[in-house]
Amino acid sequence: MRRAGHLAALLGLSLALALSVTVHAHAQGAAEIGPTAGGGGGRGRILLVLPFDNLTGQPSLEWMREAAANLLSSRFTSAGFAPMSRADRVYALDHLGLPQGFHPSRASSLKLAETLDADSIIVGSYKTDGGEIVAEAQVVDVPHLRMSQAVTARGQMRAMTSVFDALAWKLTRQMDPGFSVAEETFVAAGSGLRLDAFEQYIRGITESDQAERLRHLNAAVKLSPDFSPAWMALGREQYASQQYEQAAEAFAKVDHNGADALEAGFYRGLSLLFSGDYARAGEAFAGVARVLPLAEVLNNQAVALARQGKDGIPLFRQAVAADPNGADYHFNLAVSLRRRGHDTEALAEISHCLRLHSNDSEAQALQKAWKASATASTGALEAGADEEAETRVDALERIERGFDAVAFRQAAFMMDQMNEARLAALPPQERAQKLSARAKDYLDRGLLLEAERLYQAVAAADPKAAAAHAGLAEVRERTGAAGAARKEAHIALKLGPSADAYLVLGRLDLADGHLDEAGKEASEALELVPASKAAHELRQQIEARQAQKK
């Protein structure tokens, strides 16, 4: 019931979208964009990645069971699939009465997948071969009870993340044969991850003792201060142990554009509320509400205002509208209305609260006091009764402490669907421009896999889109595929002038020592975009190399 209320917060947006986008435009546009444009060919494919079996015989490598599932889930998400979170898996195991560390049989794996409503299960194992690690995995098609051919990847133990990234790419191609992102891009996606920090993070989310979890997670963020998942996990642990100020700092360091951003913002707001920093708490909730205006977020933003003596009534009204069946939202609106002198409406809201939750003793006491205050004449009120009523009038609005991650994901999925529908209604060229801009944003943030996936979609939707090939050229450059980068840059330049394509060629020629060619390409880029910082930096690097050569 509550989850339906969460989604109702987006109903107005859905209706507005329905008025502006026709079914014909949506269907036609979706076909032109192709399945990977708005989230990958895997959109709608729910995956359950189970911890891998440790066949090494080494207890010290047991942590890699969860590490494998974590890495693969991360890459599948970037590829457009919908892997279940570890929290969902742990919940399902508990629901089935199974321990977290159990080694599932095929039958128990299928039961687990059915509990989570997953379409496919990824099962695998790893072993050592000299100084190398060998990983193997298969995909179980749950509806058809079929198991795929096994795929393997191997490499040096110190490059463990690259091994599992390569394995993820092979599994993705197996599940979606039309997936065109290069293997090098998958491997590059995890290249910046420090293995020691990652090990500490995995140990920090799997240890049974909280003190040990905190110790490992603190070590992870110390080793890798930009490791967002470790900050998220640390914030959760600190929040659970009521270290609210420390938790607020940890949640603030979670990637604002990442998958955990909304949850981090919500719990940062709660941490600040419980720390008494109401102004910053309100800002944190407002940041979440701008993306997803769900009832619990609006409610807590309103509470932060009320704690500062400000009027939270408009936000409480929005929370009630978003989730009419939330008794606490009616309670909070009633308290705020009463405080502002809107007695009649306050009584109506407190009555609504009691219709939803008849055993709410605090609401019962408030209703009784407010009715007594409304019916008694001012002069006839006894001093004691007046004091009691005024005390109860000052009841505090209630904080919504729960974060329903599933509801948030559902709401986020609805937002994605609406964005896709808006894109589908645009003319092909404008749609390609929008997707290219989104891909460029991914590229600037170092999310190469996501960037390439969108650039590939743009190139498929609009073969004349020079920006898509220029973007792919830069992705190839960053993954070390110089030949492929040159090819994409030249394709882009054949389609039209592109400063980005010239810059890729210039950097590649500089690296190869072809200074004259690099200089010409830097000049071409500056002629197209005179203010380009990257072009000026390239020019300076070329001049420095020329000076050294002389």
Residue 191: predicted pLDDT: 84
Whether the domain at 192-291 and the domain at 310-394 fall into the same CATH topology = yes
Q: HEC states along 14-63?
A: HHHHHHHCCHHHHHHHHHHHCCCCCCCCCCCCEEEECCCEECCCCHHHCC
What CATH class does 41-178 carry?
alpha beta
Superfamily of domain 427-549: Tetratricopeptide repeat domain (1.25.40.10)
* DSSP per position, 94-156: HHTT--TT----HHHHHHHHHHHT-SEEEEEEEEEETTEEEEEEEEEETTTTEEPPPEEEEEE
Residue 327: predicted pLDDT: 96
Strands (E), 309-369: none
Which has the closest alpha carbon to 365: 356, 353, 378, 379? 353
Residue 222: predicted pLDDT: 97
**Residue-range domain boundaries for the chain:** 41-178, 192-291, 310-394, 427-549
Is 2.60.40.10 the CATH number for 192-291? no
pLDDT confidence tier of residue 18, bands split at 50, 70 and 90: very low
Angle between helical axes of 466-478 and 428-444 (0-180°, round to 10): 20
**Average pLDDT in the 322-337 region?**
96
Name the more confident of 489 and 411. 489
Residue 293: predicted pLDDT: 87
pLDDT confidence tier of residue 4, bands split at 50, 70 and 90: very low
Q: Which range among 237-246, 420-429, 462-471 shows the weakest confidence by mean pLDDT?
A: 420-429
| 340: its two tokens | 């502002």
Instruction: Supply the mean pLDDT for the chain.
Output: 85
| pTM given for the model | 0.78
Residue 38: predicted pLDDT: 37
State the chain's maximal CA–CA distance in angstroms: 101
Residue 409: predicted pLDDT: 65
Cα of 524 vs its chain's centroid, Å: 39
Q: How far apart are CA 155 and CA 128, in angstroms?
A: 10
| 285: its two tokens | 């909730």
Residue 199: predicted pLDDT: 97
Rounded to 5 degrees, what angle do the CA atoms 318, 22, 452 make? 85
Neighbours of 378 (CB within 10 A): 7
Residue 260: predicted pLDDT: 87
Question: 366-418 pLDDT, tens per residue?
Answer: 999 999 887 764 554 444 444 444 444 468 999 999 876 666 666 666 766 77
Domain range 310-394, CATH architecture? Alpha Horseshoe (1.25)
- Amino acid in the structure at residue 154: R
Rounded to 5 degrees, what angle do the CA atoms 257, 262, 264 make? 95
Percent residues over pLDDT 70 in the chain? 84
Residue 460: predicted pLDDT: 85
